[in-house]
Structure 1
C-alpha cells in the first residue's frame, strides 16, 4: 500500500508534467503549504533559478500577520510574490499547485497574485 508521501509525490509529478507541457517558456509560480506557513516562488525552469519568492516567514509580513497558516496570510504572500515578480520583469506565469488541492489557502494565494498583476 502506498504511503501518504508517495501519493503526494505522484500527484505533484502529474501536475508538474502537465504544466511543463503547457508552459511555453513561462516561469512557474510554485506553492508549498505547511501546517504553519506558506511559501511561493517564481521559478525559471530553463535557467534553473528562482526569480522571486515570498513566504510568511519574511520579516515584512511576520509582524503584520496573526499566524502564517490562514487565508489572510496566504493572500498577503500572494500579493507580495506578485510585486516581487513584477519588479523582476515577470508578468506571465503558470500556476504550480504541487500536490495541494486548489482550495482554501492555495486559492487565496492564487487570487491575490492575480490581483497583484500576475497572469495565469
Structure 2
C-alpha cells in the first residue's frame, strides 16, 4: 500500500515537472494567446487564455451540449477532435486565428494530438515551440564539393592461425 502511494506521488511529481518545463516556454499574449488542454478519462477540455490580462478568451469541452450531442463517449480521440473543431469555430468568431499550444503535462500523442489536428483543421494557426520563433533563421550552407573517389583497396589476406582451431578442446 505504501509503495503504491509513493509510486503515485512520484508519478505526479514527474507530471508537475513536465508541466513546468512546458509552461516555461509557453506564454500567451493578446496577439497569440495560449491554448491550454486538459484531459480526464471521461472528458476533454480546452481553453484559449491571454496571459497578459489573465482572461479566458474562449473555451470548449466534451461537456458542452452541442459537442456532447455528437458523441457517444467524451474520452476518446474522436471526441477530442470534435472539441478542437468547436474551439476553432468559437475562436474564429472572436477573431482569434493564432495560438501557442500548451499541452501541460500531457504528451503530444493520442487524444491531445487528435485535438490539435482538429483545431488546425478548423483554422487555428499553431506555434508549438515558441523558442524557435525567436531564433534567426540559419544561414544557408555552401554547396558541398564532391570529393574524389578513393582507390579501391585489395582485400586483406588472412594469416594462417597458429595452434589449434578455436572449436577444438585440449586432449589430455
Q: Shorter-chain TM-score: what band?
A: over 0.9
- Residue 112 of structure 2 corresponds to which residue in structure 1? 106
Compute the displacement of 1:89 (Å): 1.0
What TM-score, normalized to structure 1?
Answer: 0.93
Higher relative contact order (CA 8 A, sep 6+): 1
Partners of 2:62 and 2:104 lie apart in 1 by 18
- Residue 97 of structure 1 corresponds to which residue in structure 2? 103
Runs of 4+ in 1 over 6 A off after TM superposition: none
Q: Which stretches in structure 1 are left out of the alignment for 5+ residues?
A: none
Partners of 2:90 and 2:67 lie apart in 1 by 14
Q: Which stretches in structure 2 are left out of the alignment for 5+ residues?
A: 1-5, 127-172
Matched position secondary structure for 2:125: coil
Is residue 18 of structure 1 aligned with residue 33 of structure 2? no
Partners of 2:56 and 2:118 lie apart in 1 by 20
Q: CA RMSD in A?
A: 1.4
Which structure shows the higher helix fraction?
1
Compute the displacement of 1:27 (Å): 0.4
Compute the displacement of 1:26 (Å): 1.7
**Number of aligned residues:** 118
Matched position secondary structure for 1:98: coil
What TM-score, normalized to structure 2?
Answer: 0.65
Match of 2:50 among 44, 49, 56: 44
Compute the displacement of 1:3 (Å): 2.0
Partners of 2:41 and 2:47 lie apart in 1 by 18
Partners of 1:42 and 1:10 lie apart in 2 by 22
Is residue 70 of structure 1 aligned with residue 76 of structure 2? yes
